[in-house]
Amino acid sequence: MARSAPESALAPGAAEPPRFGDRRRVRIGLLGGSFNPAHGGHRLIAAQCRRALRLDQVWLLVSPGNPLKTPAGMAPFAARLASARAIADGRRIIATGIEARLGTRFSRDTIAALQRRFPRARFVWLMGADLLEELPRWRGWREIARRLPLAVHPRPAYNGRARASRAARTLRHALKNPGMAPALAQLAPPAWVFLQVAQNPASASALRARHLRENGEPPFPAPHPPPPAAPAPARAKPRPSPSLPPKAKPLEAQRRPSPPPPANRRRAARPGRAAPTSISTG
């Protein structure tokens, strides 16, 4: 079967899908999870699903926080994303933190956002058999099945329970023969297959327990608490303003001239009275 996208559309080293999407015609498998940590089992599921379903890419959607898991024992998002990138190749298998950039918390909302941003892409939701049994606990799980096809990867000790689970019974009418897996991305949902591929018993919880036994510490270092905030510097008390001298008088007032002395002149005659005459003594 011919590829649904040219090689040039899948540039090597594409570490992150474009946040605002594109209009490529590609088949993309979405493998969501906490990846706490990512391991070879995740890599095997991604590689086998890509080949069995004839996908162009598989995106490892590293969840910022799984609503069904407690924060206890959960490594920081950056560390989990780094572990997923360590098992990806950046070309056919891409580890991405796009959910954190989209601000979505539930898979239903993530799928809706991706379908809006990549309108010509054909998405397939990938999950292990253990998650099929858990699917009815997801918010809007029926809407997920109506939005895109589902591919279930077998896992030891879970396959029997998964086939008899509530989700499998509810979606029985949409179950396809495993031989239709290569065309699953093109089928109108609801449609799903239970893949017949090699199985890997690895699990993140088992790997964490083994790492703890062998090394005495979890695979991810515990996040350090933020350093205590430095105390705010004491505010200096305002210095008292120096007492100001009394307000000086204006310069004109300081230099006001003294009144002139009275003039040495004869008294002016009062009106109606004659001025005195000089008396001669000779």
> What is the arithmetic mean of pLDDT over 95-118?
95
Please give the distance of CA 5 from its chain centroid, rounded to a whole number: 30
Q: Rounded CA gap, 249 and 177, in Å?
A: 108
Q: Is the pLDDT of residue 57 over 90?
A: yes
Q: Is the pLDDT of residue 118 over 80?
A: yes
Nearest to 92 by CA among 3, 31, 13, 19: 13
12-16, 23-27, 161-165, 258-262, range with the lowest pLDDT: 12-16
Q: Which amino acid is at 26?
A: V
What per-residue confidence (pLDDT) applies to 70? 74
Give yes or no for a cis peptide into 231 (omega within 30° of 0): no
What per-residue confidence (pLDDT) applies to 104? 93
What per-residue confidence (pLDDT) applies to 225? 41
Which run of H or E residues covers position 135?
A: none
> What is the arithmetic mean of pLDDT over 91-111?
95
Q: Rounded CA gap, 202 and 66, in Å?
A: 20
The dihedral sign for the CA sequence 124, 126, 132, 134: negative
16-20, 105-109, 278-282, range with the lowest pLDDT: 278-282
Q: Which amino acid is at 219?
A: P
> What is the arithmetic mean of pLDDT over 189-202?
86
Considering the chain, what is the average pLDDT of its residues? 79
CATH code matching the domain that covers 14-215, chosen among 2.40.30.10, 3.40.50.620, 3.30.1950.10, 1.10.10.10? 3.40.50.620
What per-residue confidence (pLDDT) applies to 217? 54
> What is the arithmetic mean of pLDDT over 189-208?
74
| pLDDT band, residue 200 (cuts 50/70/90) | low
Nearest to 57 by CA among 85, 18, 24, 28: 28
40-72: burial string, b at 16+ Cβ within 10 Å, e else: ebbbbbbbbbbebbbbbbbbbbbbbebeeeeee
Which run of H or E residues covers position 46?
A: helix 40-52
What per-residue confidence (pLDDT) applies to 226? 41
pTM tops 0.75, yes or no: no
Greatest mean pLDDT among 193-202, 216-225, 231-240: 193-202
What per-residue confidence (pLDDT) applies to 2? 40
Q: Is the pLDDT of residue 96 over 80?
A: yes
What are the counts of helices (DSSP H) followed by strands (DSSP E) for the chain? Answer: 10, 6
Nearest to 30 by CA among 222, 157, 275, 102: 102
Q: Rounded CA gap, 193 and 179, in Å?
A: 9
DSSP 122: E
Q: Of all residues in the chain, what percent carry a pLDDT higher than 90?
A: 57
Write out pLDDT tens, residues 28-48: 999 999 999 999 999 999 999
Locate 261 and state its tokens. 């002395």
